[in-house]
Each structure stands twice: as C-alpha cells, then as structure tokens.
Amino acid sequence: MEHRIRPYLRSVDQLGSFVLAVQGASIAAIHGLDLLGVLVLSMVSAMGGGIIRDVLIGAQPPEALRNWVMVTIALAGGFLTFIAYHYVREIPEGLLLAIDAAGLSLLAVAGTEKALEYGLKGPAAIIMGGITGVGGGTMRDVLLAQVPAVLRVDFVASSALIGATVLVVARHFKVPSGWAAVMCGVICCVLRVMSALMHWQLPVADTR
C-alpha cells in the first residue's frame, strides 16, 4: 500500500539528517579519516537510522534511497564540515550539545510519526522513533570500532524513547499532530541536554 508522507514530516526528517551528517563528519575528522571516510560517516550518521526504520516498517525502497534529496543533504553536510572543519571545531561545546540534541529530537519525531502513518501501534512506533534517532550514530560507531555511544553515553536512546512515548500518548488523546510533534521534540531535546550536563546514567551491572 502506498503511503503519502506529509511535507512537514519529510522536512523534519531532512533537517535532522543534515544535523547528524555534520555531527558524523565532525567525528570522522577528529579520527583522522580522509575525505571519503568523512563523507561515508556523514551519510551513515544521517541516513542509517531512517533506512533501518523504513526496512522494518515496509517502506520500500527506503526514503533515503528513493530520490537524490536525502543523499545530497547528507553529502552536503559532510562536505561542508570537511572544508570548514577549522571553523566547526571552534564551535563551543554547549552549542555542539544543542546541535546533537536537536538532531536526535528531529529524527525521533520523524521516525515515530512515520511509523504511526504506516499503521504501527504505540510500542512499535516508539521503538521506531528510537531507532531513527540513534541508528545512524550506532552504525557510525561500529565503523569506527567503538562501543556505540547509545549503549554507554548520557541517556541518548532513553531521551529519544521518552520523547517518542510522549508523541504516541499525545496522538492517542487526539492532540493535533503538529503539537504532538513539538512536545516530543522539546522533551527529547531537553532530556538529552540535561542528561549530558548532569551526567545522568542508567544503572550498570555490578561486576565486583
């Protein structure tokens, strides 16, 4: 069955992807990767979560591969970061955190909304929101031979999942989709920033 994705949802997905492309390219540059490596990681960071989501919900082919727009956005973010990295690395840490939180929030919104558009129920839509938000970063970390940040850093996936839950609950109670998306984005973003600033962590196993 063909689904028409609302323009605002596509715009949210694209904006979040651009933000994460810049983030992925920055991390690649820090690790000393060449231009190709920077572009590959920017594309993986930007599109990885969305591709996983689309495969799981049956949106074939994935939106990121369906046309040139998403690929162009990811490549543009990576290339601009590569040529202007000396300026990018001067961005204050607080602003970088805000950019990271914004990218996570935008993709969590887009992933949850798209899952709901495809008829998934609440729990599955929440999972898709989380996967969309953190999937690309997880793939990026695997390519860099690191334990994915989603498994060890500052409440990242939890922020996306909580935001997605808020969106699903709001939609269940007939809150207009635009307001539900704003609520999801704001809560996810605030949680991500606060968790990083206050070093919130989920419990870990006692290995003593």
**CB 81, CB 26: distance < 8 Å:** yes
Task: Examine residue 74 and state whether it is found in any structural domain, yes or no.
Answer: yes
What is d(CA 153, CA 169) in angstroms, rounded to the nearest whole number?
26
pLDDT score recorded for residue 196: 86
**CB 63, CB 70: distance < 8 Å:** yes
Number of folded domains that form the chain: 1
Q: What is the DSSP string of 70-114?
A: HHHHHHHHHHHHHHTHHHHTTS-HHHHHHHHHHHHHHHHHHHHHH
What is d(CA 53, CA 125) in angstroms, rounded to the nearest whole number?
10
Q: Domain range holding 27?
A: 7-198
Task: Examine residue 204 and state whether it is found in any structural domain, yes or no.
Answer: no
pLDDT score recorded for residue 90: 81
pLDDT score recorded for residue 2: 44
| pTM reported for the whole predicted model | 0.85
Task: Examine residue 208 and state whether it is found in any structural domain, yes or no.
Answer: no
Task: Examine residue 206 and state whether it is found in any structural domain, yes or no.
Answer: no
| pLDDT, averaged in runs of 10, over the chain (208 residues) | 56 82 90 93 92 90 83 93 85 82 89 91 94 91 87 81 95 90 93 88 75
What is d(CA 31, CA 145) in angstroms, rounded to the nearest whole number?
11
Task: Examine residue 141 and state whether it is found in any structural domain, yes or no.
Answer: yes
pLDDT score recorded for residue 154: 62
